[in-house]
Chain A
Amino acid sequence: MNIIVLIKQVPNTTKVKLDPITGSLIRKGIESIVNPDDLHALEAALTIKEKTKGKVTVISMGPNQAVDVLTHAMGMGADKAVLLCDTAFAGADTWATSLTLSKAIKKINDYDLVICGHQAIDGDTAQIGPQVADWLNISQATYVKDIETINNKEIIVKTWLENGFKRISCDLPALLTVISEINEPRYPNIEFMIQACLDKAPIKIWNAADIGVNTCDVGLEGSNTHVIKTFTPDFKRQNETLTGSKQESVSQLLERLKKSDTTIAHIF
């Protein structure tokens, strides 16, 4: 069973501050990490590999520094890694990104499963997985919380719904997007990590020509959506003191909440 895992280098948004004037993320000096959901995707792939043999290849699109996340992935036990790196890829929206990734997957060709994280913490779109599946014209399951069985032909997974679960069977090849509840990612193994740092480590770097895309179809040029502005909503806190006895103020509060859209069950 050969598995491809898509991973992304993201700024550690738990530590990112917003520029109070421009409202955009201040990325400078913020450490880069592997997108958390993607670690779960890789863990899922490695677990399947341990049972079924085969190879796990990780692909990341990003600048040169993104080689660090590939090294991390190899430290966890991935067999090969590909960095899609070309100035032409820069500024891509999800459409252009998924096209680029799917071209690379097509070039690898020999795969049974593609696994990616449910979403990236810097964009929160959750679109890449489904779009890649679409480009590749393969079946997909999103929000995967559990992989029940897998054989050469099909995979049965449990996916998360708001009020329960769904069991889905997909023909292979298929694409899964996984959520963090699926597993606990392992830490890199020091031996693998040292191997991944060597010059001879199997980390390949492919540019636009290598994966056979026209530069006008990828990156900023190939994008259909463009960000006009990122900003933090100007949200002024308002507070109001409810007076009267405890009983009175609680009833007032409930009245107020009923009128607004707030679901009371969520508050308590």
Chain B
Amino acid sequence: MAQFISDRRDIDFVLHEQLEAGKLAEMNEDFEEFDKKTIDLIVSEVRTLAVKEILPTQKEGDEQGCTFKDGKVTTPESFKRLYKIFNEGEWLAMTESPEWGGQGMPRTISSVAAEYFNGANYPFMMYPGLTHGAGKIIEEFGTEKQKQLFLKNMFTGKWTGTMLLTEPNAGSDVGALTTSAKQNDDGTYSITGEKIFISSGDHDLTENIIHPVLARIEGAPEGTKGISLFLVPKYKVNDDGTLGDFNDVICTGIEHKLGIHSNSTCSLALGSKGDCVGTLIGEKNKGMKAMFLMMNEARLLVGFQGFSCATAAYMYAINYAKQRIQGKNLLEIMDTNAQSVSIIKHPDVRRQLMKMKVFVEGMRSLLYYVSYCSDMAAVAETEEEKQKFQGFVEILTPIAKGYVTDRSFEVCSQGMQVYGGYGYIEEYPMAQLLRDCRITMIYEGTNGIQAMDLLGRKLGLNKGKTVMDLFQEIQQTVIAAKEIAELKDYAEKIEKALNKFGEIAMHMGQTAMSEKVLSAFANAHPFQDATGDLVVAWMLLWRASIAAQKIEKAKKKDKPFYDGLIKSLQFFVETHLPITMGNLFALKNTSSAAIDIDDAAFAG
């Protein structure tokens, strides 16, 4: 039976065999409800909802898109019912505290929902997804009154949320923003400014929308140090929780774009009639700190968005390759009587499928592992352990966003290739997946910005202890794998790459602090690539080690699965790791050509 979106067996493997998610229940009483049985049930329900209800809206959402008429944004028809079903199931705040209507679920488990739901239709999922992130800000930094007024209505999906950073002249450089806030006598602020590219900024799914807005209080310093965060609802909310007047947040248009057609990307004019009121959230001039909480979560989510396009593309590609009959078996090419075969029999198609398989598996494990680390940080018994896992989340965030979305787009492109011409036409799902996937490399901090974050901040996190801890973790997997006869060779090659990486990381870190800083940052993206490759190699080795130990006694239907995990490792080590090594050698050059070249030497 063809599966959609994701491979359930592989998800179960990551949850139960690799990360042993059921054990989280034993570690902490907050998680005690989530034993293996409950997890399995949740996974099944997630899959059912994704395949039966969300997936059917994907293509329709793409074709209808959002429309803007008479100042109103309309979402695709099917979204209204779906949004209702989604909220009735209480999926929006799975990981949040029961106090605000959440279920307190470990993030490791909610990763399954992130994968399936986003894979089914991620532009739709952005409406609840951003709501969750905005709610988190209020939960963490909001006053009691702000929580009472907004939080429950957001975590139940009654109202949605957004994030308002970008302005025409403040994109990657948020510090350049000009939206201003002026304090009123009652302590509230009058907000004036224009924001662009705001996802879910206006729509017809809910009666109210709550915007966390970055703005500068009059007289505050320039740059990021003078930025504060405000809560600005579309409709004012009275003290008793009822809706008040329109809050002068006007949608002036929506963008027409390559993909994610069903998620509205809005231009919003705040206070153009002088009547937009917001309340400060968190401390004055500390808005970036608060927003970062949301941005870090959003970056992981964007990693999942990109990845979910990749896993869906992979599943479609396998099914297609099994069904599409074209060309003869290479060994029978001269035989005029030979039957044509399904394209999965062709070596070049197998290579493509294998490449997709390897990256999908590696990235799934990586993303779930980041979620797992945040659970481990939450249940850690010592401060040291907490810092270690929290450090892993932080250092792996640019990888989970930047590296994963880069690779995911490549996977979608491979999937299109497997379909041939049918991949390029809109009748088949590949074109949409490729289009939708592309933005994940741009928003939430472009992948270039992610690479700079890795090199400039994360590498030196906790004075370099975090990267060393990560190193040790990888090393342990390598040492254990070297004891498994059939993996020894692969483990040694990964160890070699790891050592080389250690040397290069040190070199890059030093160069970034030297007079060659510009050259270092001209190489930040390939460095992110190499780091990501290494983490994927680690994940594949970890997975294959489990498989190698289980395969002999495995049930008949599990044998090919486990064998496939070992083959994934083999493929990666034999075909991709040498490229990673080459990249590491190139990084040693830390080429300055891109810096030295005169602007005038570029065409123009």
Q: In the complex, which of the residues A15, A71, A190 contacts B90, with contact meaning CB atoms closer than 8 Å? A: A190
Query: Contact between B88 and A186 (Cβ–Cβ < 8 Å)?
Result: yes
Any chain A CB within 8 A of the CB of B85? yes
Any chain A CB within 8 A of the CB of B275? no
Q: In the complex, A71 Cα to B41 Cα: how many Å?
A: 9
Q: In the complex, A194 Cα to B41 Cα: how many Å?
A: 9
Q: In the complex, A75 Cα to B48 Cα: how many Å?
A: 14
With A75-B45, A194-B33 given, is the CB distance from A187 to B53 under 8 Å? Answer: yes
With A187-B45, A190-B42 given, is the CB distance from A197 to B37 under 8 Å? Answer: yes
Q: Which residues from chain A contact B35 at a C-beta distance below 8 Å?
A: 197
Q: Which residues from chain A contact B94 at a C-beta distance below 8 Å?
A: 190
Query: Contact between A190 and B33 (Cβ–Cβ < 8 Å)?
Result: no
Any chain B CB within 8 A of the CB of A189? yes
Q: A187-B89, A190-B91 are in contact. List 18 more A-B contacts (CB 8 A).
A: A75-B45, A186-B85, A186-B88, A187-B48, A187-B88, A188-B89, A190-B45, A190-B89, A190-B94, A190-B103, A190-B105, A193-B38, A193-B41, A194-B38, A194-B103, A197-B37, A197-B38, A197-B41
Q: In the complex, A15 Cα to B41 Cα: how many Å?
A: 20
Q: In the complex, which of the residues A68, A71, A189, A198 contacts B89, with contact meaning CB atoms closer than 8 Å? A: A189
Any chain A CB within 8 A of the CB of B1? yes
**Chain A residue with the shortest CB-CB distance to B557:** A29
Any chain B CB within 8 A of the CB of A191? yes
With A15-B1, A71-B41, A197-B41 given, is the CB distance from A191 to B103 under 8 Å? Answer: yes
Any chain A CB within 8 A of the CB of B449? no
Any chain A CB within 8 A of the CB of B378? no
Query: Contact between B38 and A189 (Cβ–Cβ < 8 Å)?
Result: no
**In chain A between 141 and 198, which residues have their CB closer than 8 angstroms to a CB of chain B?**
186-191, 193-194, 197-198
B504 CB to nearest A CB, Å: 45
Interface residues, chain B, CB within 8 Å of chain A? 1, 33-35, 37-38, 41-42, 45, 48-49, 53, 85, 88-91, 94, 103, 105
B16 CB to nearest A CB, Å: 16
**Chain B residue with the shortest CB-CB distance to A197:** B38
Interface residues, chain A, CB within 8 Å of chain B? 15, 68, 71, 75, 186-191, 193-194, 197-198
Q: In the complex, A189 Cα to B87 Cα: how many Å?
A: 9
**Chain B residue with the shortest CB-CB distance to A15:** B1
Q: In the complex, A190 Cα to B53 Cα: how many Å?
A: 16
With A197-B33, A198-B33 given, is the CB distance from A189 to B41 under 8 Å? Answer: no
Q: In the complex, which of the residues B45, B53, B85, B88 contacts A193, with contact meaning CB atoms closer than 8 Å? A: B45
Q: In the complex, A68 Cα to B40 Cα: how many Å?
A: 11
9 pairs, CB–CB < 8 Å, chain A vs chain B: A68-B41, A187-B53, A189-B90, A190-B45, A193-B41, A194-B34, A194-B105, A197-B35, A197-B37
Q: Which residues from chain B contact A193 at a C-beta distance below 8 Å?
A: 38, 41-42, 45
Question: Shortest 6 CB-CB distances between A and B: which pairs?
Answer: A197-B38, A190-B90, A191-B90, A187-B89, A189-B90, A194-B33
Q: Which residues from chain B contact A68 at a C-beta distance below 8 Å?
A: 41
Most buried by A among B41, B45, B90: B41
A168 CB to nearest B CB, Å: 31
Q: Which residues from chain A contact B103 at a C-beta distance below 8 Å?
A: 190-191, 194
Q: In the complex, A142 Cα to B89 Cα: how many Å?
A: 31
Q: Which residues from chain A contact B105 at a C-beta distance below 8 Å?
A: 190, 194
**Chain B residue with the shortest CB-CB distance to A68:** B41
Q: In the complex, which of the residues B33, B34, B45, B53 contacts A188, with contact meaning CB atoms closer than 8 Å? A: B45
Q: In the complex, A187 Cα to B53 Cα: how many Å?
A: 10
Q: In the complex, A120 Cα to B105 Cα: how many Å?
A: 35
With A15-B1, A194-B103, A198-B33 given, is the CB distance from A187 to B49 under 8 Å? Answer: yes
Q: Which residues from chain B contact A187 at a C-beta distance below 8 Å?
A: 45, 48-49, 53, 85, 88-89
B205 CB to nearest A CB, Å: 18
Q: Which residues from chain B contact A15 at a C-beta distance below 8 Å?
A: 1
Q: In the complex, A194 Cα to B35 Cα: how many Å?
A: 10
Q: In the complex, A71 Cα to B45 Cα: how many Å?
A: 12
B121 CB to nearest A CB, Å: 16
Q: Which residues from chain B contact A198 at a C-beta distance below 8 Å?
A: 33
A118 CB to nearest B CB, Å: 22
Q: Which residues from chain B contact A75 at a C-beta distance below 8 Å?
A: 45
**Chain A residue with the shortest CB-CB distance to B86:** A187
B152 CB to nearest A CB, Å: 14
**Chain A residue with the shortest CB-CB distance to B104:** A194
Q: In the complex, A194 Cα to B37 Cα: how many Å?
A: 10
Q: Which residues from chain B contact A189 at a C-beta distance below 8 Å?
A: 88-90
Q: In the complex, A191 Cα to B41 Cα: how many Å?
A: 12
Q: In the complex, A15 Cα to B34 Cα: how many Å?
A: 30
Q: Which residues from chain A contact B37 at a C-beta distance below 8 Å?
A: 197
Q: In the complex, A186 Cα to B81 Cα: how many Å?
A: 12
**Chain B residue with the shortest CB-CB distance to A195:** B33
B120 CB to nearest A CB, Å: 14
**Chain A residue with the shortest CB-CB distance to B34:** A194
Q: In the complex, A191 Cα to B37 Cα: how many Å?
A: 15
